[in-house]
Amino acid sequence: MLSRQVLNRVAISRLSSVKVDMMPHGVASLAFNAPPVNTLNKQLLSDIKTSVDQVVADGASAIVFSSAKPGVFSSGLDIFSMYGKTDDELREFWQHVQDMWLSVYMCPIPTIAAINGASPAGGCQIAMSCDYRIMAKHPKIVIGLNETALGIVAPTWFVDTMINTIGQRETEWALQLGHLYSGEHALKIGLVDELVEPDDMMERVIENLKLWLKVPPKARAITKQLLRQETANKLIRNKEQDIETFVKLVSQPSVQKDLGRYIEMMKAKSKK
């Protein structure tokens, strides 16, 4: 059993974009490691899903998500994967987004987001899908679903996850304005559970893990499933339709034009 675990861990460590480390008490640390900003492209999406599924299969007791490069937790879904692509390429990309989310959201073991960097859009969605969120206090570390501000629309299951986290009224405001919350504001509305000095992050994660690890794991896992299965099912029953909605929306000339403009803007910015 141990040797199989070691074998798997070696396999996992070959995943270029997620750094997997085992902490004491069987806790798996999954650090996003796709410089410069952990953009959720096909590779990172697939590596997150694979590493979550693998450490669960190996009997890990909990997962801590973080960024291997503090500063950006994840910049969200990869715009390049949506720009100038064929419908089939868009379909494949979106299926990776769906599958990554279902693995994280329905993960049977406790998941803690150590949000040690900015967490917009897809980054926020991963954090909201964890069981607990600890955010590092820094003016540049903000969190939110800001899709609308970029001219695109968050998918229904991002919306459902946010409603489950902060309620309908705050979600309506946040999503319509595409708002990125400061740490203080995120704490106040319950988008994160704790706000800590960056240097205290690891200590707080460990303190918190103690609470989660002392609960009987089977009863906790069934309870989590009871609480989340209905939201997950809304996507599971509707995966094909959700993919076609995405393809139809993103392949619109007006959206492609907006994305193109955004890419140009980012390129210009990075040249400075």
Decide if residue 227 touches its own copies (CB under 8 A): yes
By the rule CB under 8 A, 120 interacts with its own copies: no
The angle formed by the CA atoms of residues 47, 151 and 241, to the nearest 5 degrees, is 60
Which residue is catalytic, options 76, 122, 123, 183? 122
184 vs 218: CA distance, rounded Å: 35
CB of 149 to its own copies, least distance (A): 6
Q: Which of 13, 16, 176, 233 is the binder for its own copies (CB under 8 A)?
A: 176
- Residue identified by tokens 């959206």 is 255
Which of 103, 126, 122 minimizes the C-alpha distance to 114? 126
125 Cβ contact partners less than 8 Å away, ≥ 6 residues apart: 76, 101, 145, 158, 161
Give residue 21's identity as a one-letter amino acid code: D
Instruction: Rule CB under 8 A: say whether 216 interacts with its own copies.
Output: yes
- CB-nearer residue toward its own copies: 16 or 184: 184
Least distance from C-beta 133 to its own copies, angstroms? 10
Residue 242 interacts with its own copies (CB under 8 A): yes or no: no
Cβ 172 to its own copies shortest distance, Å: 5
Contact track, its own copies, 53-82, x by CB under 8 A: ------------------------------
- In the annotation, is 8 catalytic? no
State the Cα angle at 144 between 138 and 147, rounded to 5°. Answer: 135
Comparison of 125 and 171: residue with beta carbon closer to its own copies:
171
SS3 string, 114-157, reads: EECEEEECHHHHHHHCCCEEEEECCCCCCEECCHHHHCCCCCHH
Q: Write down the least CB distance from residue 46 to its own copies, Å.
A: 27
CB count, 10 Å around CB of 205? 23
Asked about 116 being catalytic, the answer comes back as: no
Q: Minimum CB separation from its own copies for residue 25, in Å? A: 16
Does 132 engage in binding with its own copies (CB under 8 A)? Answer: yes
Tell me how far, at minimum, the Cβ of 122 lies from its own copies, in Å. Answer: 16
Rg (CA), the chain: 18
22/213 with CB nearer its own copies? 213
Closest CA to 126 of 104, 152, 97: 104
Question: How far apart (Å, rounded) are the C-alpha atoms in residues 18 and 55?
Answer: 12
Is residue 218 a contact residue for its own copies (CB under 8 A)? yes
> Interface with its own copies includes 251 (CB under 8 A)?
no
177 a catalytic residue:
no
Q: Which of 26, 70, 71, 151 binds its own copies (CB under 8 A)?
A: 151
**Runs of H (alpha helix) within the chain:** 2-13, 42-57, 87-105, 122-128, 156-166, 168-177, 183-189, 201-213, 217-236, 239-250, 253-271
The contact set with its own copies (CB under 8 A) reads: 110, 131-132, 147-154, 156, 159, 163-173, 175-178, 190, 193, 211-212, 215-216, 218-220, 222-224, 226-228, 254, 258
Instruction: Show which residues are catalytic.
Output: 77, 122, 146-147
